[in-house]
Amino acid sequence: MKKITFFTGLLFTAIFSINAQINKPPRLLVGIVVDQMREDFLLRYYDQYSNDGFKRLVNQGTLCRNVQFNYTPTITAVGHASIYAGTAPKYHGIIGNSWYNRNSKKVVYCVTDSTEKIVGNENISVGVSPRNLLTTNISDELKIATNKKSKVISLSTKDRAAVLTAGHMADGAFWLDLTTGNYVTSTFYMDKLPEWLVQFNNQKLAFKYLEKEWNLLKPIESYPNCLNDDNNYEEILNGKQRPTFPYNLKELTPLNNPYFEVLNRSPFSNSLLADLAIHILKNTDMGKDQTTDMLNICFSATDPVGHTYGPLSLEINDTYLRLDLEIARVLKALDEYVGKDNYTLFLTADHGVGENPQYLIDNKVPAGSLDEKLIYEGAVQYLNQKLGNSQWIVAYRNDQFYFDHELIEKNKLALNNVQDMLAAFLLTQNGIAETYTAWQLMQNEYTGSLAAKLQMGFNFKLSGDVRYLMQPGWYANMGVGATHNTAYMYDSHVPVIFYGKGVAQGVSYEYHTITDVAPTVSTLLNIKFPSATSGKPITEIFKKP
């Protein structure tokens, strides 16, 4: 009996120990994705931030400083899909914002779906859906785990960000219609807008933001790491003589299309999105019971502002300072309506951004702008010279060429030989560093190199025949402003922060890939990983019992 009692005690002790190490899931999981947020932006502007936004997340949560995208291209749709699916385009199938479809012989947009319609704007004839996303994501897995009892909502200014984070089973994905200023959705999710969204749209807040003037939030001397306000590396909006503060949104709006494009290229579209997120927390039952819900907030203003003015501009610095205040507002609302100990939050970015190539050139740094029109025309001319005049190339998209496979077969040519031929030609072009054929990417296994990132972005069925990587500092068709989409660190290094219930305090310098975010969230929620997960949990973030 003593032995039985002893071993029973050991068993209960072991069970108690295991239970103590398994965190109880939060009532609400909040995912925040900031569009075009390079890792250094978090610390570059750190002294300028308030104590209640980014600093609160960093000081009270876990900041992961060495997270990389393990694929290319680093662009919006691919980033949001990869973060939430826990895997790369090779498996989830979102290989760009758009790509060439061999079956329809057309370029397709990542979330366009002709079988659906837009709910909230009858003038848009074609709807959207997540059907091109070939895997589940964490939003789907939460719905599956709770037998659809969890509520999942995704918000963004961009349709692709909202849809690809919402996944296939969400209660709704909502984004800003730039023609009306209202948030809309798709018939994939519902046939009419929920009452809480109708109430929000009826406030016409987008129009109210257009009454604002965008000026610097702080005195100009508070922005020490920026170029002069008036410089030659920034795009000039219609209605402006120079790219300088202030920006009178009311005056500029009629001169730029669509109607809310000026709002889109200002920090106030983030403010509007935060308004909507807070409205949901206040007017719905999300996070109010013991079943975990999920709210995804994709702040997009940083991307169009970054594209227009670049990462060294006063405009992007000010946009981040204002985003910091919006995050502080969202955190305050979470504390009030959900409870400080009842939610977990993660924040990351869909990609980074590079410097303006001309700025680098002017400062004696190697860089350049690749003329895609010349590259395409040169490729066509070269293949015609080698193989005879015909339309060998049917599409050129996302730094890759698509061949007419039927034409190549009809002419009794070996597809891999034609691929090798164009790959060799492209290497002779200025600005192109490396080329890879579909045959190489299918047959070889690359590790620890830029080729490995390219391979993880290559989908056997959807990608093209020849892919190239540009040299560091190079982008396609670049004049003013800035962009992204390469495999280099400035585009692939982003911050990751976990905060709230179940999360430890600290900083991690361990290497992780962006595909580690989804399995980390899944572990926090005690649900299974998304179906094609290739990442692993970031163990440093978990609070010890």
pLDDT in tens, 200-252: 999 999 999 999 999 999 999 999 999 999 999 999 999 999 999 999 999 99
Label residue 15 by pLDDT band (50, 70, 90). Answer: very low
User: Which pair of structure tokens corresponds to residue 229?
Assistant: 């306000």
SS3 267: coil
pLDDT at residue 19 is higher than 60: no
Tell me, what's the pLDDT at 411?
A: 98
Q: Which string of DSSP letters, residue by residue, matches 407-466?
A: HHHHTT--HHHHHHHHHHHHTTSTTEEEEEEHHHHHH----SSHHHHHHHT--TTTS-SE
Rg of the chain over Cα atoms, rounded to whole angstroms, equals 24
Tell me, what's the pLDDT at 18?
A: 44
C-alpha distances (whole Å) from 66 to each of 32, 454, 523, 542 are 18, 20, 20, 17
| pLDDT, averaged across the chain | 95
Label residue 2 by pLDDT band (50, 70, 90). Answer: low
Establish whether 76 is a catalytic residue.
yes
The secondary structure of residue 284, as a DSSP letter, is S
pLDDT at residue 307 is higher than 60: yes
Tell me, what's the pLDDT at 545?
A: 74
SS3 230: coil
Label residue 125 by pLDDT band (50, 70, 90). Answer: confident
Q: Which residues contact 278 (CB under 8 A, 6 or more apart)?
A: 329, 330, 333
Catalytic residue, chosen from 62, 76, 253, 435, is 76
pLDDT at residue 544 is higher than 90: no
| E strand spans, 266-385 | 293-299, 343-349, 368-370
> pLDDT tens for residues 244-294?
999 999 999 999 999 999 999 999 999 999 999 999 999 999 999 999 999
Q: Nearest 5 degrees, angle CA 167-CA 446-CA 70?
A: 35
Cis peptide before 246 (omega within 30 of 0): yes
> pLDDT tens for residues 443-477?
999 998 899 999 999 999 999 999 999 999 999 99
Report phi then psi at 88, rounded to 5: -100, 170
Tell me, what's the pLDDT at 285?
A: 97
Taking the model in full, what pTM does it have? 0.95
The secondary structure of residue 194, as a DSSP letter, is -
Tell me, what's the pLDDT at 14?
A: 39
What is the arithmetic mean of pLDDT over 487-492? 98
Find the helix or strand (DSSP H, E) in which 31 lies.
strand 28-34
User: Look-up: residue for tokens 């109708």?
Assistant: 198
Q: Nearest 5 degrees, angle CA 152-CA 89-CA 525?
A: 35
Domains in the chain, ordered, with CATH?
A: 28-356+486-493+502-510+526-541 (3.40.720.10), 368-476 (3.30.1360.150)
Tell me, what's the pLDDT at 5?
A: 55
SS3 192: coil
Helix/strand/coil percent split, the chain, to 5: 40, 20, 40
Tell me, what's the pLDDT at 17?
A: 42
Q: Rounded distance, CA 398 to CA 271, Å? A: 32
Q: Rounded distance, CA 231 to CA 234, Å? A: 7
**Do the beta carbons of residue 535 and residue 31 sit within 8 Å?**
no
**Do the beta carbons of residue 131 and residue 189 sit within 8 Å?**
no
Q: Rounded distance, CA 24 to CA 26, Å? A: 7
Label residue 22 by pLDDT band (50, 70, 90). Answer: low
Q: Rounded distance, CA 351 to CA 493, Å? A: 7
What is the arithmetic mean of pLDDT over 25-53? 97
C-alpha distances (whole Å) from 167 to each of 18, 283, 346 are 32, 23, 18
pLDDT at residue 140 is higher than 50: yes
Tell me, what's the pLDDT at 16?
A: 43
**Percentage, residues of the chain above pLDDT 90:** 94
